A and B are shown apart, each in its own frame.
Chain A
Amino acid sequence: MADGVLVRISDTLWRHPRLLVTLLLAPPVLWLGVIYLGSLFALLAQSFFSIDEFSGLINYEFTLKTYGELFKAHNLDIIVRTVTMAAAVTVGAAIIGFPVAYYAARYARGKWKALFYLGVMLPLWSSYLVKVYSWKLILAKEGILNWLFETLHLSWLLNAYLAIPVIGGNSLSVSSTGTFLVFLYVWLPFMILPIQASLERVPHSMLEASGDLGATPAQAFRTVLLPLALPGVIAGSIFTFSLTLGDYIIPQIVGSSRRFIGQAVYQYQGTAGNIPLAAAFAVVPILIMGLYLWWAKRKGAFDAL
C-alpha cells in the first residue's frame, strides 16, 4: 500500500518535471529568500530613515539625510582610507601571488603539483583568527620581526620607516603597514587560486608558437601569457578587494586608531545605536562591489572563477 503511494508520487514527479523542480527549489529558496534577503532588505530600508539628534530615536520617515552624512569629511575619510587599503592589498597580493600561481600552473608536476595545491589550500582554509593572531605574535614589540631587525643590526632602518607619516607609527603593530601586512597575508590565497586556474587553461602550444615566431621568453610572457592570465587576476582581485572592504576585525587588532568602513558600521550599529547610518555605510561596499563586478564581468573575469 505504502509502495503504491510512493510509485504514484514518483510517476507524477516524472511526468511533471516542473513540479519536481519547484519542490526541489522550495526549501532553499524559502530559506535564503526569507531569512537572508528579508533581513538584507530590512537593513537597507533603514538607511532611508534618520536618527533624531536630540532623542537618539529612529525617525521612520523617508529621507536621504543619512546618506548625506556619508559625505561629511570624517566619514568620507573612512571610505577613502578603506578603498585605498583594499586597492593596495589587491596589488600586493597580485605581485606576490602571481609567481606562486605561475610556477604551480606551468612547472610543478606530480608531487610538487599536489604540494603547491595544498600549500595554497591549507592557509586558505585555516582559521582566520589564528592567522590574524600569528601576526600579532610576529609584529609585537618583543616579537620575532623586531628581534630579526635587531640581530641583523638593522633597527635604524625599521625606525626610519616607522617615522614616515601615514604608513608608519609607534611600532609595526599599530601602523597602517601592519594592517596592510595582515590583510595581505589573510587574503593572498584567494588571489592565487583564480590566477592559477586561468594560467592552467593557456595551452602550452601557444607559448611554443610565440617562441618559434621569434619572441624571447620575456616577450612571450608579456604579450601572450599576461593578457591571457588577466581575467584570473581580476577574478582574484574581486575577493581581495571585497574582503578588505568589509573586514572590521583586522584593523581593530593590528593597526592605528584610524577607522575602516567595517569598524564604522560596527560602531554605529552597536555603541552608537545609529542603525540608519550603519545601514547607509553598509551600502557603500555593496555599491563599490557592484561597480567592480560590472567592470570585471566586462573584462571576462567570471570565466576564470
Chain B
Amino acid sequence: MHSDRAPLGLKIAAIGGLAFMHLPILLIFVYAFTTEDKSYQWPPPGLTLQWFGVTWGRTDVWEALSLSVRVASISTIIALVLGTLCAAAISRTRFFGREVVSLMIILPIALPGIITGISLRSAFNLADIPFSFWTIVLGHATFCVVVVYNNAVARFRRVSGSLVEASLDLGANSFQTFRYVILPNISTALLAGGMLAFALSFDEVIVTTFTAGQQQTLPIWMLEELVRPRQRPVTNVVAMVVVLVTFLPILGAYYLTRGTDTVAGQGK
C-alpha cells in the first residue's frame, strides 16, 4: 500500500483475469483457419484459407448479415431520436414523474430479455400483427433507447445552461440554438451512443428469437448453428468476422468519449 508497485500475487491474478476474458475469443481466430470440418479437434490438423472463400459464397450468411445491418440501422435511428428527446427533457428540468420515466427507460434492459421477448410476442399475437422486419425493429429500438439516453444525459449535464441562454439573448430562436449550440456540444456523445446501440442491436438474440418469426438475423443464424451444427468451418469464420466487426464501434465509442466523466458502454 505504501509503494506504487502492485504485489506480485495481485498482478498475476489481474493478468490472469484478463487472459481468461480474452483467450477464448482468440481461440476462435485459430479455428477459422482449421482444415478439420467434422469436429472441434484441437490442435488443428492443418491450416487453410479455403473457408473464407466458402463463407463468401454463402447466400444465407449474406442475407442474415444484410437483415441484421438493416434492423440495427433503423433501430439505432429510432433510439437516437427517442433517447435524445428523453435525455433533453430529464436533464433540463425536474418534473413530477421524472424517476418513473428513467425507470421506464432502464426496465427493458434491466429485466431479463426473455421477459421482454415473450411480452412482445404475446402482444403481437393478441393484436394480430404478423412477424416482419418491423416487429424485430420494434423490439430492438425499445432496448437500444437506454444506451443512447445514458450517453446523452451525461453530456447534457455538462452543457451549461448559460450557453443556451446566451444564444437566445443574442437573437437565435430555439431551433437555431439547437442546431448551432446544443447539437455540436452533444454530437460526439450521440455518435458514441449510436455506435453502442448499433452494436447492441446487431448482437441481440434473445428478444429477436421471439419477434423474428421465420426471418434470420445473423445472431439467429449463429444460434441455429450452435444448436444444430451443419457446417462448422463456416460458423468459425462468421464468428471471427463478427468479433472483428463489433470491435470497431467499441473502439470508436471509446475514443469519442475518452476523458469525459461518463465513459460510453458502462450501461450495457
Binding site for B on A (CB under 8 A): 6-7, 9-11, 13-14, 17-18, 21, 24-25, 27-29, 31-33, 35-40, 42-43, 46, 96-97, 99-100, 102-104, 106-107, 116-138, 140, 142-144, 147, 185, 188-190, 192-193, 197, 207-208, 210-211, 217, 220-221, 242-243, 245-249, 252-253, 262, 265-266, 269, 275, 278-279, 282, 285-286, 289
Contact = CB atoms under 8 A, between A and B. Distances in A.
B170 interface: no
A124 B263 CA distance: 14
Contacts of B163: none
Interface in B212-268: 219, 222-223, 226-227, 235, 239, 242-243, 246-247, 249-251, 254, 263, 265-266, 268
A122 B247 contact: yes
Contact of A134 (B28, B78, B112, B168): B28
A28 B105 contact: yes
A134 B40 CA distance: 10
Contact of B14 (A37, A102, A129, A188): A102
B104 A138 contact: no
User: Chain A: interface secondary structure?
Assistant: helix
* Interface size bracket, B side: 35 or more
Those 5 A-B pairs whose CB atoms lie nearest each other, nearest first: A246-B112, A39-B123, A103-B14, A99-B13, A10-B173
Contact of A133 (B20, B101, B120, B226): B226
Interface string B80-107: 0111011011001101000001001101
Interface of B: 1-2, 4-7, 10-11, 13-14, 16-18, 20-22, 24-25, 27-28, 31, 39-43, 78, 81-83, 85-86, 88-89, 92-93, 95, 101, 104-105, 107-108, 110-116, 118-123, 126, 138, 141-142, 145, 168, 173-175, 196, 199, 203, 205-206, 219, 222-223, 226-227, 235, 239, 242-243, 246-247, 249-251, 254, 263, 265-266, 268
Contacts of B21: 119-120, 123, 185, 188-189
Nearest to B18: A119
